């Protein structure tokens, strides 16, 4: 469950309610980790209140302030047994620096791959789900060569770059910048209070916004011939807009969307 950030935590809480459902219901063990945040207790308090209002009865905060914290055996056992694991926002570089390659990382993967747990990430937690993570950078007025830096993520999503707060922060140019330079990847820009749900061989968009898919695999660009910071010429770029309520399965979607689903659901 990949969330574009700033999901509603005070009113209907539709995205969080969907997460609880996917995690198995109100009595299922849920872990909230604030590893990406520099104000973990403040962030946890917001989610504690929200999940309590939804009626979830077994929600635990995991605060990670170092790699040593993430290498704890008892923590790994608890995570492996969770039915839902929720990564909050903050800084995706901090998230990866603290948990990447640790026992916590491996336990989360075990919970997901072997026990069918729902892994959710919002904002920085969403970016961190990728194998190729959008680490930092911006391109405000137009796509720019070298405007964005990639880093290694947790690897739940292969061959798809996730960007968040997408429409609200006008990040299309940023996503175009990175996909033009790495055309074997597809881009997914997720709006705030919106979740891209990946389950089996299907995807669903929930919340109040949409998901924008950027495909440069057949595009013709000048990205290789220009200097860093210059704007590339780009032709035949494909964009797909998936509003809330969109549902697609891999065989039925066809074309680029079928590939998008395959990349998202590939667990290898």
| Region for 5 from its dihedrals, namely left if φ exceeds 0, alpha if ψ lies in -120 to 50, beta otherwise | left
Query: In this structure, are residues 228 and 201 in contact, taking their beta carbons and an 8 Å threshold?
Result: no
Return the ∠ at Cα 157 (arms to 153 and 159), rounded to 5°.
95
**For residue 165, what pLDDT is reported?**
98
CA quadruple 239, 243, 247, 250: dihedral, nearest 10: 10
pTM comes to 0.96
The answer to whether 192 is a known catalytic residue is yes
- Contacting residues for 21 by C-beta, under 8 A, at least 6 apart: none
Query: In this structure, are residues 88 and 46 in contact, taking their beta carbons and an 8 Å threshold?
Result: no
List pLDDT tens digits, range 102-125.
999 999 999 999 999 999 999 999
User: How many angstroms separate the CA atoms of 259 and 159, rounded?
Assistant: 10
Q: Kindly name the residue from 165, 177, 240, 250 that is annotated as catalytic.
A: 165
Query: In this structure, are residues 260 and 238 in contact, taking their beta carbons and an 8 Å threshold?
Result: no
Q: Which residues face 195 on adjacent strands?
A: 3, 206
**For residue 266, what pLDDT is reported?**
81
The answer to whether 165 is a known catalytic residue is yes
**For residue 173, what pLDDT is reported?**
97
Q: Is the pLDDT of residue 252 over 80?
A: no
CATH class of domain segment(s) 141-149+156-268: alpha beta
The answer to whether 37 is a known catalytic residue is no
**For residue 12, what pLDDT is reported?**
95
CATH class of domain segment(s) 1-128: alpha beta
**For residue 268, what pLDDT is reported?**
56
Query: In this structure, are residues 59 and 25 in contact, taking their beta carbons and an 8 Å threshold?
Result: no
**For residue 210, what pLDDT is reported?**
98
Closest CA to 178 of 192, 162, 167: 162
**For residue 89, what pLDDT is reported?**
97
How would residue 250 be classed by pLDDT, with cut points 50, 70 and 90?
A: confident
pLDDT above 90 covers a percentage of the chain that reads 91
How would residue 222 be classed by pLDDT, with cut points 50, 70 and 90?
A: very high
Which part of the chain is CATH 3.40.50.880?
A: 1-128, 141-149+156-268
Give, for 2, the enclosing helix (H) or strand (E).
Answer: strand 2-3
Q: Kindly name the residue from 7, 144, 192, 204 that is annotated as catalytic.
A: 192
Q: Kindly name the residue from 37, 123, 177, 250 that is annotated as catalytic.
A: 123
User: How many angstroms separate the CA atoms of 11 and 164, rounded?
Assistant: 21
């Amino acid at each position: 469950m990949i969330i574009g950030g700033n999901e509603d935590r005070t009113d209907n809480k539709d995205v969080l309610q969907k997460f609880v459902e996917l995690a198995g219901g109100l009595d299922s063990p849920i872990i909230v980790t604030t590893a990406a945040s520099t104000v973990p207790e403040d962030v946890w308090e917001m989610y504690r209140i929200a999940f309590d209002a939804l009626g979830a009865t077994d929600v635990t905060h995991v605060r990670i302030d170092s790699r040593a914290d993430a290498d704890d055996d008892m923590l790994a056992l608890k995570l492996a047994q969770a039915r839902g694991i929720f990564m909050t926002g903050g800084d995706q570089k901090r998230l990866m620096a603290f948990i990447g390659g640790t026992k916590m990382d491996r336990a989360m993967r075990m919970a997901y791959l072997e026990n069918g747990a729902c892994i959710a990430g919002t904002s920085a937690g969403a970016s961190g789900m990728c194998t190729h993570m959008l680490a930092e950078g911006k391109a405000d007025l137009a796509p720019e060569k070298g405007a964005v830096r990639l880093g290694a993520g947790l690897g739940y999503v292969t061959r798809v770059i996730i960007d968040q707060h997408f429409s609200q922060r006008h990040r299309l140019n940023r996503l175009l910048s990175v996909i033009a330079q790495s055309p074997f990847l597809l881009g997914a820009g997720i709006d705030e209070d919106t979740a891209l749900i990946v389950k089996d061989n299907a995807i669903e968009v929930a919340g109040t916004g949409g998901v924008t898919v950027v495909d440069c695999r057949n595009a013709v660009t000048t990205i290789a011939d220009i200097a860093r910071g210059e704007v590339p010429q780009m032709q035949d770029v494909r964009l797909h807009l998936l509003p809330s309520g969109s549902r697609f399965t891999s065989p039925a979607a066809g074309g680029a969307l079928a590939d998008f689903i395959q990349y998202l659901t590939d667990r290898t």
